[in-house]
A and B are shown apart, each in its own frame.
Chain A
Amino acid sequence: MNNESKSVIERKDFQALFDALSAEGYKISGPTVRDNAVIYDEIGSAEELPIGWTDHQEGGSYRLTKSKKKTLFGFILGPYTWKKLLYPPEKKIWEAQKSDRSFEIVEAESKPIKQAFVGVRPCELKAIGIQDKILRDGQHSDPEYGALRRNLFIVAVNCTNPGNNCFCVSMNSGPGVSDGFDLALTEMFNGKDHYFVIEAGSRAGKKILEKIPHRPAKPEELEQAEKAVERAASKMGRSLDMKGLKEILHNNFDSHYWGEIAKRCLTCGNCTMVCPTCFCCNIEDTTNLGGDRAERRRYWDTCYSVDFSYIHGGSIRSTDYSRYRQWLMHKIAYWQDQFGTPGCVGCGRCITWCPVGIDITEEAGAIREKA
């Protein structure tokens, strides 16, 4: 990172970022508070950000509280992930019109909208990169995902205040970003001064930055911002020792400990829905009542369902423990064999949103210990 290229935007000028993005034709999505949670949705101005909100996360628990600090990004992560906007939970792929004894396919119209995501956490940026490998860079790819990615503008926000369930340091995905963004911010607030250290990571980022009132960052501002991110790295709520873990898991596929975990697991699939890297989907073909029109839809799916692995004669993974095992093995071990990276970025969502608080770091750690 080149410090000379870093600037400062004052809080009072932050709206200019939204104005500049809108002027460039981006549809802006960002964090906003709804139903007692921070979610990602279309927002028009900086005022819709979760100003002054923080979240408290534990295994199986999430709580939003107002703090006196009027920070814009003082929360950690909510249940939503950006994949919702790049690979929607439900999508029509095509329709078919019946004609005599044949049918004609009409591809679903999909407009590759220009989107800007404001407030992408470093771990989430890493997760987008992981989904790119799967959905965009393989032998076959999802054309809509590719188009949305090409038209995406990313405003990343470094973390200075990690939560109890965060372990991005273990997964090498945070708390600061290094690349893959258009703009990256570090929010600084000390009661008196409230400003953002900002850095452009692409030509599109530079172009937007030029339209926002900014000034060169002072050396002490840079140092404080860097320190804040460094401090965050030492404040991780959890950790996962990845050293040799892939091999340990492979060698312990048979461990009876999986059965212990399964006693608690409800196989609800929440962890796969909130995970920013899970990509599994189901395809459904249907017709209308008259039968002259058929369609194909794609839905997010989860390996926790019995049907997921069904083949004639029965499900491959019929026991609860085999499905929990599939999830954890996939995240940590198989994924590395398949895509050269773990399928976990350490965001902690699966821990927070598990109804019984099962913790991937604890369970993987336990397998290591029992090994």
Chain B
Amino acid sequence: MAKMQNKSKTSDISLIDPMLVQAYTIQRVVRETFDTFSLELEPQSGGGEFKFAPGQFNMLYVYGVGEVPISISGDPSKEKPLIHTTRAVGTVTKAMKNLKVGDTIGIRGPYGSSWPVKEAEGYDVVIVAGGIGLAPLRPVIYYLLQHRNKYGRIVLLYGTRTPEDMLYRKQLEKWRSRFDLETYLTVDRATGSWRGNVGVVTTLIGRAPFDPLHSVAVVCGPEIMMRYTVLELLKRGVDEEKTYISMERNMKCGIGLCGHCQLGSSFVCKDGPVYRYDNIKHAFTMWEM
């Protein structure tokens, strides 16, 4: 039985209100780091196909607390479960962190633009992630590995503040042992038994094995990290038109109606969050736009 029913009493309103949420049950909670967790979700109404493109996001509603945009971080070829990786930073995300297996979360989506997996066919792909920025990029990695022969070299460059902040650690180990994916990790500050690279993620770009003239780059992380990363990529010769970033703005609706996410002439919720760099560079480099 579907728990969620649309009890609309209106006759004239033929369109379903896009602000309605669907109830999903938390099947599993994975603690990724001390403040970041992944939720595996299944719809209470059965069915359960959730189709999305890598890079898209959902609006996640915590009962009575609020709703926030969170990228989808699972495997796009699997219709279940729906996976979100969230860092607890404020009111809604902290309340979300307290939810347990069996609890309910409200979902609307998927919304927004996606990473250029089709456009990248035939090219080397450079994936640059900073901190929580790996979450929106994980669906790309799944996709590329599933369609491995369509791409040239695939390079993952991932940086976090400390080794403890790395997401998906087991998976990173597996990826590192693959021959068809070059994974380079770095931390700002080494702790514990870390023997790897120390330094910001941009320092990896200069020596990573890809052909800059024949590469597509996808970048996600804090805005400042994306700025420097793009500069490095361009310096190495990657084309602006082959460089993609994902933007974050305040979002109240996710569907182009509330105005909050505006970035110059674009709405990050519908024109983004993923942008081709040359299309957004004007706004990206303007302070307080």
Other than A279-B257, A301-B252, A316-B250, give 13 A-B pairs with Cβ distance below 8 A: A93-B19, A102-B25, A103-B106, A105-B6, A112-B12, A147-B12, A282-B260, A285-B67, A298-B19, A301-B260, A312-B90, A322-B287, A338-B267
Closest 4 CB pairs of A and B: A287-B64, A280-B259, A337-B265, A322-B288
Chain B residues within an 8 Å CB radius of A150: 12
Interface-located stretch among A54-62, A228-236, A302-310: A302-310
- B66 and A101 contact, CB distance less than 8 A: no
A294 at the interface (CB under 8 A from B): yes
Q: Is there contact, CB below 8 Å, between B17 and A294?
A: no
Q: Mark A73-101, 1 if CB is under 8 A from B, else 0.
A: 00000000000000000000110101101
Tell which of A18-26, A135-143, A172-180, A215-223 binds the partner: A135-143
Using known A-B contacts A110-B10, A280-B259, A309-B260, determine if residue A96 contacts B249 with beta carbons closer than 8 Å.
Answer: no
Q: Across the interface, which residues of B come within 8 angstroms of A317, CB to CB?
A: 288
Chain A residues near B (Cβ < 8 Å): 93-94, 96, 98-99, 101-107, 109-112, 134-135, 138-144, 146-147, 150-151, 253-254, 279-287, 291, 294, 296, 298, 301, 303, 308-312, 316-319, 322, 325-326, 329-330, 333-334, 337-338
> Would A311 and B13 count as touching, CB distance under 8 A?
no
Shortest C-beta distance, B279 to chain A (Å), equals 12
**Contacts of B259 on A, CB cut-off 8 Å?**
279-281, 301, 303
- Cα–Cα, bound, A338→B23 (Å): 33
Q: Would you call B63 an interface residue if the criterion is a C-beta within 8 Å of the partner chain's C-beta atoms?
A: yes
A109→B252 contact, CB < 8 A: no
Q: Are B255 and A104 in contact, CB atoms less than 8 angstroms apart?
A: no
Min CB distance A292 to B, Å, is: 10
Q: Show 23 A/B contacts (Cβ-Cβ < 8 Å), sorted by A.
A: A101-B103, A101-B104, A103-B23, A134-B256, A140-B18, A141-B15, A141-B18, A143-B16, A143-B18, A146-B13, A146-B15, A282-B252, A283-B252, A285-B66, A287-B64, A291-B64, A312-B90, A316-B250, A317-B288, A319-B288, A329-B264, A330-B262, A334-B265
B98 at the interface (CB under 8 A from A): no
Find chain B residues with CB under 8 A from A318 CB.
288
| Complex alpha-carbon distance, A333 and B282, angstroms | 14
Q: How far is the CB of B189 from chain A (nearest CB, A)?
A: 20
The verdict on B253 contacting chain A, using a C-beta distance below 8 Å, is: yes
Is the beta-carbon distance between B3 and A281 smaller than 8 angstroms? no
Are B17 and A135 interface neighbours, CB within 8 A?
no
CB-based contact B260/A140 at 8 Å: no
Interface residues of B in 131-166 (CB under 8 A from A): none
A151 and B14 CA atoms in complex are apart in Å by: 14
Partner among B20, B106, B270, B286 whose Cβ is within 8 Å of the Cβ of A139: B270
Q: What chain A residues lie within 8 Å of B102 (beta carbons)?
A: 101
Shortest CB distance B267–A (Å): 7
- Closest Cβ of chain B: how far from A191's Cβ, in Å? 47
A134 near B10 with CB under 8 A, answer no
Contact B257 A135 (CB under 8 A): yes
State the CA gap A60–B90 with chains docked (Å): 40
**Chain B neighbourhood of A325, CB < 8 A:** 288
> Does chain A have a CB within 8 A of B207?
no
Q: Whole-angstrom distance between the alpha carbons of A94 and B5 in the complex?
A: 12
Residues of B within 8 A of A147 (CB): 10, 12-13
Contact yes or no, A309 B249, CB < 8 A? yes
Q: In the complex, what's the smallest C-beta–C-beta distance from B215 to chain A, in angstroms?
A: 30
Our pick among B8, B16, B103, B258 for the contact of A301 (Cβ within 8 Å) is B258
Cα A287 to Cα B63 in complex, Å, equals 8
Q: How far is the CA of A140 from the CA of B19 in the complex (A)?
A: 10
- Would you call B256 and A112 a contact (CB within 8 A)? no
Whole-angstrom CA separation of A174 from B146 in the bound complex: 59
Min C-beta distance of B89 to chain A, whole Å: 5
B96-117: CB near A (< 8 Å → 1, else 0) gives: 0000001110100000000000
- Chain A, residue nearest B65 (CB): A285
Quick one: which of B240-288 are within 8 Å of A by CB?
248-250, 252-253, 255-260, 262, 264-267, 270, 286-288
| Among candidates A102, A253, A311, A338, residue contacting B249 with C-beta atoms closer than 8 Å | A311
Cβ contacts under 8 Å, A142 to chain B: 257
Write the chain A residue with the least CB distance to B7. Answer: A106
Q: Which of B12, B20, B67, B270 has the largest number of chain A CB atoms within 10 A?
A: B12
A287-B63, A309-B249, A319-B288 known; A104 and B3 CB under 8 Å? yes
B211 CB to nearest A CB, Å: 35
**A106 to B4 CA separation, bound complex (whole angstroms):** 9
* B residues in contact with A287, CB < 8 Å: 63-64
Given A109-B10, A143-B16: A138 touches B265 (CB 8 Å cut-off): no
**B20 near A151 (CB under 8 angstroms)?**
no
Checking A94, A310, A334 against B17 with a beta-carbon cut-off of 8 angstroms, the contacting residue is A94
Chain B residue nearest to A338 in the complex (CB): B265
The interface residues of chain B lying within 8 Å CB-to-CB of A253 are 286, 289
- With A102-B44, A338-B265 as contacts: A107 and B17 at CB distance below 8 Å: yes
On whether the beta carbons of B250 and A311 are closer than 8 Å, the reply is yes
Query: Which residues from A are CB-within-8-Å of B265?
Result: 333-334, 337-338
A254 and B287 CA atoms in complex are apart in Å by 9
Bound Cα distance A116, B22 (Å)? 36
Known: A94-B20, A143-B15. A280 touches B288 (CB 8 A): no
Check if B262 sits within 8 Å of A286, measured CB to CB.
no
B128 to chain A, nearest CB (A): 20
Q: How far is the CA of A333 from the CA of B3 in the complex (A)?
A: 46
